[in-house]
Chain A
């Protein structure tokens, strides 16, 4: 069983817990998420508490990530977006650390679980919808009918726009989940060839080393994409079109 390339995605209960009919056990995924949040907090608090004017290595990591997300929020949402900076920053750091920690051998990739990514995505899109509704009240629904379109097309355009809007959380979560799951499965499959090929086993090792580098790029890139799409959805909610 452990030889299966999909075995790495198994959820195991570390501390079994049940409330009524619900299983709320503390699993390996929960453990990784706890570690992720603890690491982020540690990095940010420890490096900024004794902030030096000339930053050291860790402090510049914290400052770079802050400035990176701040610039992204400013560029995509504009000055009104500043109030959403904490949200975007939290999401970016969480996804980034989840992706990167998943690459550590013997750890677990929480973002390879569609439950996790979908929960994040539905939260983001739900929040963006709420922001739009609070800001524009009923005017928000004009989002589903592009201005200037002939009214005759409304019966087709409105359902299409609604489906397009509803597909946002699906595509947002699917992209992250599929990227992480596909990459990790591929690496496990290649690792399986190492033993099977005997002497030529060094070939898949070389391929895996290259793939590991690609996975690092994808881990960062997907965190960036997730964060920038969060910004875009918020921009849509604030400005409508």
Chain B
């Protein structure tokens, strides 16, 4: 390292910190595969769990209120809608935090 060095060690440290900071900022724009995988799994679980809750509530209603078979049918569709809602919300959050800004 024969580059021009500031005599003050603190200034040198500051320079190195600046460089590290810049490198970190560059890296932060990209998402790692692990992150993407985790997020994909998150959306999947979100979709399924709402459906399970919807069907479960419908089943309970059928069993204890005696609305058979409408509880499970209605619960299925409401649960599916809620799952979609959850997934869309999670995806929107993802776009806000790291993706490129929406064009147009």
A54-62, A91-99, A160-168, A191-199 - the one binding chain B: A160-168
CB–CB A174/B45 < 8 A? yes
A136 contacts B by Cβ under 8 Å: no
**B50 nearest CB across to chain A (Å):** 4
List the 5 shortest-distance A-B pairs measured between CB atoms, nearest first. A171-B49, A167-B50, A163-B82, A164-B82, A170-B49
Q: Interface digits, A155-187 against B, CB 8 Å rule (1 contact, 0 not)?
A: 010011101101100110011001100000000
B7-15, B16-24, B51-59, B62-70 - the one binding chain A: B51-59
**A72 nearest CB across to chain B (Å):** 12
**Alpha-carbon distance A163/B82, docked complex (angstroms):** 6
B38 contacts A by Cβ under 8 Å: yes
Contact residues, B1-47 vs A (CB, 8 A): 34-35, 38, 41-42, 45-46
CB–CB B38/A164 < 8 A? no
A-B contact count (CB 8 A): 61
**Please, which residue of chain A has its CB at the minimum distance from the CB of B46?**
A171
Interface of A is mostly: helix
- List 25 A-B residue pairs with CB atoms under 8 Å apart, sorted by A's residue number: A160-B78, A163-B50, A163-B79, A164-B82, A164-B83, A166-B57, A167-B50, A167-B82, A167-B83, A170-B49, A170-B50, A170-B52, A171-B45, A171-B46, A171-B48, A171-B49, A171-B50, A174-B45, A174-B48, A175-B41, A175-B45, A217-B34, A218-B38, A222-B38, A232-B93
CB–CB B85/A170 < 8 A? no
CB–CB A163/B45 < 8 A? no
Could you say which residues of chain A place their CB within 8 Å of the CB of B52?
167, 170
Interface of B is mostly: helix
**Please, which residue of chain A has its CB at the minimum distance from the CB of B45?**
A175
Q: How large is the interface on A (under 10, 10 to 19, 20 to 34, 35 or more residues)?
A: 20 to 34
A17 contacts B by Cβ under 8 Å: no
**B35 nearest CB across to chain A (Å):** 7
